[in-house]
Amino acid sequence: MARLSFLFFLFSFSFVHAKTMKFYFDSKLVKTLSVNEMEKSVSIETRSVYNPNTRSYEKFKSFDFKELLDLVYGKRWKEAEEISFFTSDNYVPFIPVKKFLMKDSFLAFDSAYGSKFTTVGKLKDQVHDLEPFYLIWEKGSRWDLDRSDWPFKIVGISAYSQSFNLIPKSSEKIQLHGYKLFKKYCIACHQVKGVGGIKGSNLLKSEVLQSSNRARLIQYIIDPKSVNKSSKMPFFPKRIRNKKAAVDSILQYLQWLDDKKTERVESPSKKKKIFSVERLNNALSN
């Protein structure tokens, strides 16, 4: 874990200062581009993003993300399943390619005001450093996208043709529902079976599944600060109606996953290696 974090540090340090991005496809390095190289082929646009915390718009210099993907991958990125974003603080969200096909997105790299490349969080004194890159979307998109769809501090991008296969059978309805929720809301911070971010703990290696007070655990996941005021984990999405049942399905999915004997579950039909944080860091260190 220490080595993994150290590699993330080296990765982020170099990109913040050089404003450079590495692009991967199925864990293989495709291209490395600096901002100067990007602007030679992709036009710079000024885009406004509504910040609900300040109730005002913020303007950023950015590149059309789909144009940038075309430049790097050609048209094959459109046939991929997902695009993952690696950040300097170990956050790794997975965004389905279909979202990028349906909506316009942009890769911001600087403030349009000539000020620091930052944004204001929920608390008035909470200022987030966005360096070196920030994924933003067209106006009006904030309300129908998830918070994980707006990653900042982006230092690497990978498109890949096959999502990791940690999926229960269709007959295991509760676990399958838990998988979908975990993939959408949890895996960006909590790595499992070598896939996902390491901002939070590895839930399969922690004491989470062995908790004797399941009701308290479910309450903690729904509203962390109600159980631990110093917790930094975000609350469970408010738009989900039956939160207790939803969280319970996530725990059942994790238990299902923990019962697997292999370190990584692979597709029986496709033997492609699954992309993970470790594989990215191994590639970066070579």
pLDDT band at 76 (very low <50, low <70, confident <90, very high): very high
pLDDT of 28 above 80: yes
CA distance 61 to 117: 10
CA distance 286 to 282: 7
User: Among 66, 52, 45, 175, which residue's Cα sits nearest to residue 112?
Assistant: 45
Structure tokens belonging to residue 205? 């290696």
User: Among 227, 233, 164, 240, which residue's Cα sits nearest to residue 203?
Assistant: 233
Cis check: omega of the bond before 132, within 30 degrees of 0: yes
Instruction: Please give the full DSSP string across 84-137, using - where no structure is assigned.
Output: EEEETTS---EEEHHHHHHS-EEEEEEETTSS-SEEE-SSTT-EEE--S-EEEE
- The stretches of 104-242 forming alpha helices (DSSP H) are 173-185, 214-222, 224-227
Query: How far, rounded to the nearest angstrom, does the alpha carbon of residue 86 sit from its chain's CA centroid?
Result: 7
Instruction: List Cβ neighbours of 247 (8 Å cut-off, separation of 6 or more).
Output: 218, 221, 222, 236
Write down the pLDDT at residue 63: 97
Entry field: residues in the chain: 286
pLDDT of 253 above 50: yes
Query: How far, rounded to the nearest angstrom, does the alpha carbon of residue 210 sit from its chain's CA centroid?
Result: 27
pLDDT band at 267 (very low <50, low <70, confident <90, very high): very low
Q: Which amino acid is at 4?
A: L
Catalogue all structural domains in the chain, each as residue range(s) with its CATH number: 2-160 (3.90.420.10), 173-264 (1.10.760)
pLDDT of 137 above 50: yes
pTM (2 d.p.): 0.79
pLDDT band at 164 (very low <50, low <70, confident <90, very high): low
pLDDT band at 276 (very low <50, low <70, confident <90, very high): very low
CA distance 3 to 7: 6
Residue with the larger pLDDT of the pair 126 and 5: 126
Average pLDDT over residues 166-193: 88
